[in-house]
Each structure stands twice: as structure tokens, then as C-alpha cells.
Amino acid sequence: MYLIPFTRKTSLKLFVLLIISICFTQVLQSQPKSGQPSANNDPEAEKYLKLVNTKLQTLKGYKLNFTAEIIDADQKKQTYQGSYTGSGDRFIVDLPDMKTINDGKTQWTINKGEKEINISKYSKPKQSKAETPIDIIKNYSRLFKYRVKEPLQSQQIVLELVPLNKNSNFFKVDLTFDVKKHHILGAKLYDKGGHRISFKFANMQEFKTVAAGTYTLLAKDYPGYEILDTR
């Protein structure tokens, strides 16, 4: 996870963007190395994590529509909707007033309200980090101790993952899976400051092919936008 102090001065929308891969490197803090995998993990939880991870690794591409809900320590709630499209290390995160396109090397962050595009270099996260709900799945064995939290019911199961890194700002993550389709349905992050960040995923689309240029910004699509290139 991103180790970013969550304070009242922190924009909730910015926090959502950080969670789902909009990497404003100027505000990121380094993350300590993860702990060692535990030998006491729940075998049933391991089975489902492997199944979902295998599917994500073999897909050419996929798109997830999501709803992100944040409840702060004072029980104030904010909700955002958007989509996450991924193909390997490339991704697109689309929110109502902000969009990020990442081709694995370059990242374009489009602020629709301010009509501004920021271009920056992108470095692939180390395997000791989880910066998105998808990264949690890909790196579960290195970063977490895990168990079944809620048993299988109506094709859904809830797993609880506890970070091995004691310095993480999150003390646990709940993941909900569709065990028949091997889809991730939701993620709930428990912040040590009392905040709860929930993602509900719907309408997962699986792509057999990915069109060239999908993960590249075309400036002609954004006439009148100011471009800030920091590469």
C-alpha cells in the first residue's frame, strides 16, 4: 500500500486515486521491505488466491467498473465511481474528473476539471509493494498472512489478509471473490487511523486482444489542455 498519512488535509479523492495506481511520485514515501511469508497461512485461502492470480496473469486484458467508498474516522462518507482497465503492467484509471493512462514506462494524468495533462516517467513497483487491489492479488504470498474470514456462500468467499510489514498504514485487507468465475468482487482496506476504504467491482470484461495505442494518450483527444511534461 502507499504509506501516506491520511489527515483531514488530504483530499479524499486524491487518496482514492493513489490507492488505484495514480502515482504522484512527489508525495510518495518509501516503503520498508516486506516481512517473510508465514508458514501458517490458511490452505483454503491460498487456493482461491492462486486461482484468481492465475487468471489475472493469463488474461490479455480486462476492465473493471468500480465504486470506491471512504468512511473516515468521524464516520463521514464519500463515494466515487470509475473504471480500471489493465493489461500486464499497463493500466487506465478513469474517474469523473480525472483519468490516468499508463503504458508501463510513461504515465499521463489528465485533470479534466483544470484541463491539464501531467506527463511523467513511470517505474514498475517492486514486488515488495502493493499499490492497487490487483497488486494485492499478484503479490499476496510475499506481503501478507491470509485466512478465510467468511466461508463460501452463494459462490462468494471473503478472505482476510494481514500485512507482514508492521509499518504499513493498513492493518488488514478483506477481499471478496466469485469462486466460480475467479473474479475479485470487492476489497476493503482498514487504515490504522480509523478510515475504511472499500472497492466494489462489477461487470468485469475480459479482452482476447488489446488494440494498439490503447494505453497511450493522444493529445488531439484533449484540445485546449495544458501539457506539463516532467520526464
13 has pLDDT over 60? no
pLDDT (0 to 100) of residue 117: 96
130 has pLDDT over 70? no
pLDDT (0 to 100) of residue 28: 26
4 has pLDDT over 80? no
Question: What mean pLDDT comes out for the span 95-117?
Answer: 91
Q: Specify the pairing of strand 144-153 against strand 116-121.
A: unpaired
pLDDT (0 to 100) of residue 129: 54
pLDDT tens-digit series, residues 27-62: 222 233 444 445 578 899 999 888 888 887 788 888
Question: How far is the C-alpha of 231 from the C-alpha of 210, rounded, in Å?
Answer: 26
pLDDT tens-digit series, residues 139-150: 788 888 999 999
Strand order in the sheet with 183-191: 144-153, 156-163, 170-178, 183-191, 196-207, 61-71, 77-87, 90-95, 98-102, 106-111, 116-121, 226-229
8 has pLDDT over 50? no
Question: What mean pLDDT comes out for the span 154-166?
Answer: 89
Which residue shows C-alpha cell 515488495? 128
Q: Which residue has the higher pLDDT, 8 or 88?
A: 88
